[in-house]
A and B are shown apart, each in its own frame.
Chain A
Amino acid sequence: MTALPATSEAGGARVPMGASLKPLLRLVVPAVFLVGAYAFMGPEQFVNALTRGAIYALIALGYTMVYGIIELINFAHGDMFMMGAFVSLTFLGQILGLTGSITDIARLAPLLVAAFFVSMIVMGAIGVTIERLAYKPLRGAPRLAPLITAIGVSFILQNIVMLKYGPFQTNSPKIFPSFDIVIGSAKIPALSVFIIVVALSMMVALQLFISRTRLGRAMRSTAADRDAAQLMGVNINRTIAITFLIGAALAGAAGVVNGLQYGVSRFDDGFQAGLKAFTAAVLGGIGNTVGAALGGFIIGFIEVGATVMGFSRWGPAIVFGVLVIVLVFRPSGLLGQQLGERA
Chain B
Amino acid sequence: MSASTAVPSGRFAARRQRLAEVSSRHRSWSIVVGIAIIGAILPVLANIPPFTLATPTNAWMDGFTNAGVWVLLAIGLNLVVGVAGLLDLGYAAFFAIGAYTYAYVASPFGNSILGIEFVTKVSPDLSGLVFWPMLLVGALVAGMFGILLGAPTLRLRGDYLAIVTLGFGEIVPIVFLNSDAVTNGTNGVGGLARPALPIIGSFSALNPWPYYISMLVLVAVVMMLAYRLVESRLGRAWEAIREDELAAAASGINTVTAKLLAFALGASTAGIAGVFNASKLVTVSPDQFTFIVSFTVLAMVVLGGMGNFWGVAVGAFVIYTINNVLLKVLNQFFDAVSFPILKDIDFIQLQFLLYGLALVAMMLLRPEGLFPNSRRQRELHTQVLEPGADELTTAEATTEEGQR
Complex Cα spacing A144 to B185, Å: 35
Q: Is the CB of A6 within 8 A of B157?
A: yes
A151–B379 Cα distance when bound, in Å, is 25
The complex places the Cα of A153 from the Cα of B178 at a distance, in Å, of: 33
Given contacts A6-B157, A313-B178, contact A148 B299 (CB under 8 A): yes
Pick from A5, A10, A71, A148: contact of B363, CB under 8 Å? A148
If A148-B299, A162-B352, A331-B156 touch, does A142 touch B380 (CB 8 Å cutoff)? yes
Residue of B81, B86, B158, B242 with most chain A CB atoms under a 10 A cut-off: B158
Q: Is A7 an interface residue (CB 8 A)?
A: yes
Q: Are B168 and A11 in contact (CB under 8 A)?
A: no
Is A191 part of the binding interface, using a Cβ–Cβ cutoff of 8 Å?
Answer: no
Interface residues on B, range: 35 or more
| A19 and B172 alpha carbons, distance in the complex (Å) | 41
Residue of B nearest to A161 (CB): B352
Chain A binder among B102-110, B275-283, B354-362: B354-362
Q: A155–B306 contact, CB under 8 A?
A: no
Q: Total A-B residue pairs with C-beta atoms closer than 8 Å?
A: 169
**Cβ of A145 < 8 Å from any Cβ of B?**
yes
Q: Does B298 contact A (CB under 8 A)?
A: yes
A280-298 interface with B by 8 A CB criterion: 282, 286
Cβ–Cβ contact B160 & A314, under 8 A: no
Consensus secondary structure, chain A interface: helix
Residues of B contacting A324 in the complex (Cβ-Cβ under 8 angstroms): 152, 164, 167-168
Q: Does B9 contact A (CB under 8 A)?
A: no
Q: How far is the CB of B381 from chain A (nearest CB, A)?
A: 10
Per-residue interface assignment for chain B, residues 336 to 380, with 1 indicating a CB less than 8 Å from any chain A CB and 0 otherwise: 000000000000011111011111100110011100000010011
Cβ–Cβ contact A7 & B356, under 8 A: no
User: For the complex, what is the distance from the CA of A163 to the CA of B356, rounded to whole Å?
Assistant: 14
CA distance A312 to B332 in the complex (A): 44
B229 at the A interface (CB under 8 A): no
Which A220-235 residues have a C-beta within 8 angstroms of B? Answer: none
Q: Is A155's CB under 8 angstroms from B352's CB? A: yes
Judge whether A323 is part of the interface by a CB distance below 8 angstroms: yes
Q: Would you call B162 and A160 a contact (CB within 8 A)?
A: no
Check A148/B356 contact, CB under 8 A, given A3-B376, A138-B367: no
Interface string of A131-155 (1 = CB under 8 A from B): 0001001101110111111011111
Chain A residues with Cβ under 8 A from B364's Cβ? 134, 137-138, 149
Expressed in whole angstroms, the minimum distance between the Cβ of A132 and any Cβ of chain B is 12
Indicate if the CB atoms of A5 and B245 lie closer than 8 Å.
yes
Q: Cβ of B157 and Cβ of A8 under 8 Å apart?
A: yes
Docked Cα-Cα span, A134 to B367, in Å, equals 12
| 8 Å CB contact of B295 from A151, A158, A313 | A151
Known: A141-B367, A144-B81, A320-B167. 12 other contacts (CB 8 A): A4-B87, A73-B162, A151-B359, A153-B356, A163-B349, A163-B350, A279-B167, A313-B174, A314-B178, A321-B171, A328-B152, A331-B156
Offer 28 A-B interface pairs, CB within 8 angstroms, sorted by A. A3-B242, A3-B376, A4-B85, A138-B364, A142-B302, A142-B380, A144-B302, A145-B302, A148-B302, A149-B360, A152-B363, A153-B360, A156-B352, A156-B353, A159-B356, A163-B350, A275-B170, A278-B166, A282-B159, A313-B178, A321-B167, A321-B171, A323-B163, A327-B156, A327-B164, A328-B155, A331-B160, A332-B160
Closest 3 CB pairs of A and B: A152-B359, A320-B167, A155-B356
